[in-house]
């Protein structure tokens, strides 16, 4: 019991936490509400800060088998199509940060983590176990499920995502709030596109009230495309969105450059997803209290404008694994240290992501200033040494 970690949630954050904690010597019981481990969404970008952790966990070869290493990131004007800035990646990222910058399908990353967790004898995975609440005692935590059953452990990690029940019970701060943005996502084989629309790198299109990101996944064989616009969609905000025909998107995007319109017209089906979030983490106590800690989106949901949602969950998990390796300190003291190490960085990334959303969708003088800055200082503005050079761990100094 004194070494048992309970984890609510079997997404990227939950499986990463299970792997890190098992590597730290813990016995882990993970509970996922769905009947299978699956990731909704399409692709994600993994900066060197996250890839470095996955390499330390022994997943280098598994990553290389499914991910793609883009040679560069190019920023373009969505309205006129002109190039605004370029950030070389590939060899430059490896040399500068000690790890590559990768793009990967969410399902591939989840499967990679699942297989790594299944190789850990001290991890038990439980499907179809929706969490209801918990009760914290002096020496343990009781996790309660919707069917009336319960489990006991030394500590509980809430990795159950944006709509976390563990967070609701721990903080009672209400549901997430709408960001006022909608993401339309698509992923398709590159062979389904004409040659001029196929990509090897990342392209970001910036336009008034919208932006588009496109990059390869599945070893470069598929193209992931995300269109973000201002607005909202009807339906269950917790569900993966309904299919959207391309004809419905063209009036939404309005006047855009011909190459970008061509891309949108060649994709026959999209899925919509209203983006929700929370204010930035304001204190360590919002990430850990007593024997309970929050991980990933349950702790610090991050808008997708810095490409760090999965990266932050992986960093969280790595630090949790390290605090569990410590030879001294109570459970409460270890989780307090985890939160103290993580909250300022996570808050900074939440704030920067939200700020990027404003900059990406800028109009008028702000848009002109953004474009001029990118043309003049593109590489310096697009590179993020404070972000990609960060090494998550218990010895990491605050970078606030």
pLDDT at residue 41, as a whole number: 65
Residue 262 lies in a domain: no
Question: What tokens does 345 get?
Answer: 């960085």
Residue 131 lies in a domain: yes
**pLDDT band for position 100 (cuts 50, 70, 90):** very high
For residue 155, being part of any structural domain is answered with yes
Distance between CA atoms of 363 and 358, rounded to whole angstroms?
9
Q: 243-245 and 269-277: which strand pairing?
A: antiparallel
Q: pLDDT tens across 253-293, in order?
A: 989 999 999 999 999 889 998 899 999 999 999 999 999 99
**Residue 161's CATH number:** 3.50.50.60
Q: How far apart are CA 283 and CA 59, in angstroms?
A: 32
Sorted by sequence, the CB contacts under 8 Å of residue 204 that are 6+ apart come out as 73, 74, 75, 76, 211, 212, 213, 360
Task: Kindly state whether residue 33 falls inside one of the protein's structural domains.
Answer: yes
What is residue 250's predicted lDDT score, i.e. its pLDDT? 87
What is the model's pLDDT at position 234? 65
Residue 156 tokens read as 């509980």
Q: For residues 15, 16, 22 and 24, what is the CA-based torsion angle, rounded to 10 degrees?
A: -160
- The mean per-residue pLDDT over the stretch 119-133 comes to 95
Question: Contact, 222 vs 42, CB < 8 A?
Answer: no
Tell whether 298 is covered by a domain.
yes
Query: Which carries the bigger pLDDT value, residue 119 or residue 146?
Result: 119
Range of the domain at 67: 4-175+279-388
Instruction: Name residue, tokens 């070869």.
Output: 61
Is pLDDT larger for residue 240 or for residue 190? 190
The radius of gyration computed from the CA coordinates of the chain, to the nearest angstrom, equals 21
User: Taking every pair of C-alpha atoms in the chain, what is the biggest distance, in angstroms?
Assistant: 64
pTM reported for the whole predicted model = 0.95
Task: Tell me, rounded to whole angstroms, the distance of Cα 136 from its chain centroid.
Answer: 29
User: Residue 180 pLDDT > 80, yes or no?
Assistant: yes
Q: Is the predicted pLDDT of residue 144 greater than 50, yes or no?
A: yes
Q: How many domains does the chain have?
A: 1
Residue 212 domain flag: no
Catalytic residue among 134, 184, 215, 390: 215
- What does pLDDT average to over the chain? 93
pLDDT tens, position by position, 211-249:
999 999 999 999 999 999 998 776 677 766 778 888 888
Which has the closest alpha carbon to 300: 275, 326, 279?
279
| pLDDT average, residue stretch 328-339 | 95
Does the residue 267 lie in any domain?
Answer: no
* pLDDT value at 398 more than 50: no
For residue 173, the model assigns a pLDDT of 95
Q: What average pLDDT score do residues 381-386 get?
A: 95
Instruction: Please indicate whether residue 215 is annotated as part of the active site.
Output: yes
How many whole angstroms from its chain centre is CA 357? Answer: 16
Residue 351 has pLDDT above 60, yes or no: yes
Q: How confident is the model at residue 397 (pLDDT cuts 50, 70, 90)?
A: very low
Alpha-helix runs per DSSP H in 31-120: 48-56, 60-66, 91-97, 106-118
12/55 Cα distance (integer angstroms)? 16
Q: Over the stretch 108-122, which tens digit does the pLDDT of each residue have? A: 999 999 999 999 999
Specify if 393 maps to a domain. no
Name the DSSP letter for residue 218: G
The C-alpha angle 222, 38, 117, rounded to 5 degrees, equals 105
Residues near 259 by beta carbon (within 8 Å), at least 6 away in sequence: 81
Say if residue 88's pLDDT is above 60.
yes
Q: How far apart are CA 143 and CA 132, in angstroms?
A: 8
């Amino acid at each position: 019991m004194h070494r048992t970690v309970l984890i609510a949630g079997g997404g990227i954050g939950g499986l990463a936490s299970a792997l890190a904690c098992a590597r730290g010597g813990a016995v882990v019981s993970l509970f996922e509400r769905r009947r299978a481990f699956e990731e909704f969404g399409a692709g994600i970008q993994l900066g060197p800060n996250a890839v470095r952790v996955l390499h330390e966990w022994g997943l280098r070869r598994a990553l290389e088998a499914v991910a793609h290493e883009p040679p560069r990131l190019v920023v373009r004007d969505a309205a006129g199509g002109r190039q605004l800035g370029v950030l070389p990646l590939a060899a430059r990222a490896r040399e500068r940060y000690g790890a590559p910058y990768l793009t990967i399908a969410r399902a591939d990353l989840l499967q990679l983590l699942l297989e790594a967790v299944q190789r850990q004898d001290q991890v038990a995975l439980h499907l179809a176990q929706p969490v209801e609440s918990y009760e914290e005692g002096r020496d343990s935590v009781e996790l309660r499920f919707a069917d009336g059953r319960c489990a006991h452990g030394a500590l509980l990690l809430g990795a159950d995502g944006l709509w976390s029940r563990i967070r609701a019970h721990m903080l009672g701060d209400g549901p997430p709030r709408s960001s006022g943005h909608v993401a339309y996502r698509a992923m398709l084989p590159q062979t389904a596109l004409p040659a001029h629309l196929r990509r090897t790198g990342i392209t970001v299109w910036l336009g008034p009230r919208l932006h588009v990101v496109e990059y390869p996944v599945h070893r470069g064989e598929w193209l992931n495309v995300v269109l973000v616009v201002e607005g909202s969609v009807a339906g269950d905000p917790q569900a993966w969105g309904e299919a959207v025909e391309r004809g419905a998107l063209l009036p939404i995007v309005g006047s855009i450059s011909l190459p970008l319109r061509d891309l949108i017209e060649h994709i026959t089906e999209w899925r919509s997803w209203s983006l929700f979030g929370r204010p930035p983490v304001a204190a360590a106590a919002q990430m850990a209290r007593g024997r309970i800690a929050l991980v990933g989106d349950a702790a610090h949901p991050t808008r997708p404008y810095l490409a760090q949602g999965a990266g932050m969950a992986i960093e969280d998990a790595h630090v949790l694994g390290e605090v569990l390796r410590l030879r001294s300190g109570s459970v409460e003291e270890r989780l307090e240290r985890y939160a103290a190490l993580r909250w300022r960085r996570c808050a900074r990334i939440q704030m920067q992501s939200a700020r990027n959303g404003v900059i990406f969708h800028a109009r008028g003088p702000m848009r002109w200033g953004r474009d001029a800055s990118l043309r003049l200082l593109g590489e310096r503005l697009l590179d993020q040494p404070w972000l990609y050079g960060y090494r998550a761990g218990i010895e990491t100094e605050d970078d606030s």
